[in-house]
Amino acid sequence: MLMLIDAASLWYRAYYGLPSSIKAPGGARSGAVRGFFDGLATLSRRFSPTEMVCCLEGNWRPEWRTNLIGEYKAARALEDGSEATPEGLDAQVAAIEALLPALGVATATHPDFEADDVIATLAARTAEPVCVVTGDRDLFQLVDDGRDRNVVYLARGISKAEVFDAEAVATKFGVAPDHYVDFAVLRGDPSDGLPGVKGIGAKTAVSLVNTYGGVNGIRAAAMEEGSEMPARQRQAIADAADYLDRALKVSTVVDDVELPLIDSSLPTGPADSETVEALTEQWGVGSALRRFREAVTAE
């Protein structure tokens, strides 16, 4: 089984899940580094992947997406366009991103795409079972029982991660995974800057999707003479036609990103011992790295 990890989701959960009192020998906060690799160890023990790729944010807010929806993730952007991050996290992210290849853990990224797109591309490339680890609801669109693709959702933390198959997605949101994007753009998603369709809340979005089969079916029904859809909803859908076109493109993951071939095998030993030793000493994370090595090399 190939485990595709949304690395940013994991290090954010580690950062907020561990106390700020955890410090490196030099005094810097180190909980995100420690928690990230302990998280990888926990996931490895629980799900026993045979392959693993940590997917990184090459571009957390791609211009091609903001050209479609100007407010896309705008709430998280600083004046210079960079992403606002909590105190002490940036240095820990740099350490994690240096440790992963040094440990022999595969990583993947693309400068014009988000980690979600990289994950979708790697999932599309393989016929093997895929487990996507993320805290991002957008990736529920990848859940596919027929192809053995599920999502390990980190919203409640790494140790309490929930596994979502198609039934679990439908139970939580009321729609099948292949219509999750339709539901999300209708309802809106403030965290991503998607306003949704005015007057269409979550319950109405679910009803419309399940009745008409997604945004395209909903729009066709709204335009149909004699449609049973209430007039208020028909007007709301008609008024939002341009938004729906743009939001669907923004919210649908790209699954054909140009990525090099990646060796996703689990590490059997460090690829760069000197870098591992130096960063282990700098950040004081020897125990976490040992637990990770033991987890991925366990029979």
Residue pLDDT tens, the chain, 299 long: 999 999 999 999 999 999 999 999 999 999 999 999 999 999 999 999 999 999 999 999 999 999 999 999 998 889 888 899 999 999 999 999 999 999 999 999 999 999 999 999 999 999 999 999 999 999 999 999 999 999 999 988 888 999 999 999 999 999 999 999 999 999 999 889 999 999 999 999 999 999 998 999 999 999 888 788 899 999 999 999 999 999 999 999 999 999 999 999 999 999 999 999 999 999 999 999 999 999 998 86
Sequential DSSP letters for 54-87: EE--S-SS-HHHHTT-TTTTGGGB-TTSPBP--T
Helix (H) or strand (E) holding 132: strand 130-134
Q: Could you tell me which of 164, 108, 163 has the C-alpha nearest to residue 141?
A: 164
Give the DSSP letter of residue 257: -
- What's the CATH code, domain 2-175+254-297? 3.40.50.1010
The type of residue at 216 is: N
Supply 251's token pair.
């919210």
SS3 (DSSP) at 240: coil
Q: d(Cα 106, Cα 149) in Å, to the nearest integer? A: 20
Distance in angstroms (rounded) separating the CA atoms of residues 296 and 37 = 11
- How far, rounded to the nearest angstrom, does the alpha carbon of residue 46 sit from its chain's CA centroid? 19
Helices (runs of H) and strands (runs of E) counted in the chain: 13, 6
Q: What is the pLDDT of residue 42?
A: 96
How many Å is the Cα radius of gyration of the chain?
Answer: 21
Domain 177-251: CATH superfamily is: 5' to 3' exonuclease, C-terminal subdomain (1.10.150.20)
Return the pLDDT at 191: 86
For residue 39, give Cα distances in angstroms to 13, 99, 120, 265: 9, 14, 22, 18
Q: Tell if the pTM clears 0.85, that is, is over it.
A: yes
Parse the chain into domains and list their residue ranges.
2-175+254-297, 177-251
Within 130-230, where are the H helices?
166-173, 180-187, 202-212, 215-223
